[in-house]
Amino acid sequence: MVGFGSFERAVGALEQHLAATEWVCGERFTMADVLVGAQVDWGLTFGTLPARAALAAYAERCRARPAYRKGKAIDQALLDQHVAP
């Protein structure tokens, strides 16, 4: 029930949690980080989440992972194929 009640409370609870730990479940990257990281990354990119320091730092940790970079490269290559004349 932490964060229940409003968008601000939910974002505040997420921010507080991510400020206190490296990953969602502690010191280890898990599937929860794939889900939460994607949402935080998207939210910060498109402005649906406020640009708060803990959220930005978490997104940067996710973006620094080799699998993230590999996935983004695959996405970009597919986009380039469909956009190219």
The pLDDT value recorded for residue 65 is: 97
Spatial separation of the C-alpha atoms in residues 20 and 12, rounded to whole Å: 12
Q: Domain map of the chain by residue range?
A: 7-83
The pLDDT value recorded for residue 84 is: 65
How does pLDDT run across 40-72, given as a tens digit for each residue? 999 999 999 999 999 999 999 999 999 999 999
Q: Is the per-residue pLDDT at 5 higher than 90?
A: no
Q: Tell me whether residue 59 is exposed, middle or buried, using C-beta atoms within 10 angstroms of its C-beta: 0 to 12, 13 to 18, 19 or more.
A: buried
pLDDT confidence band for 2 (50 / 70 / 90): low
Spatial separation of the C-alpha atoms in residues 84 and 11, rounded to whole Å: 39
Give the pTM. 0.85
Q: Which CATH class is domain 7-83?
A: mainly alpha
Q: CA angle 41-50-69, nearest 5°? A: 15
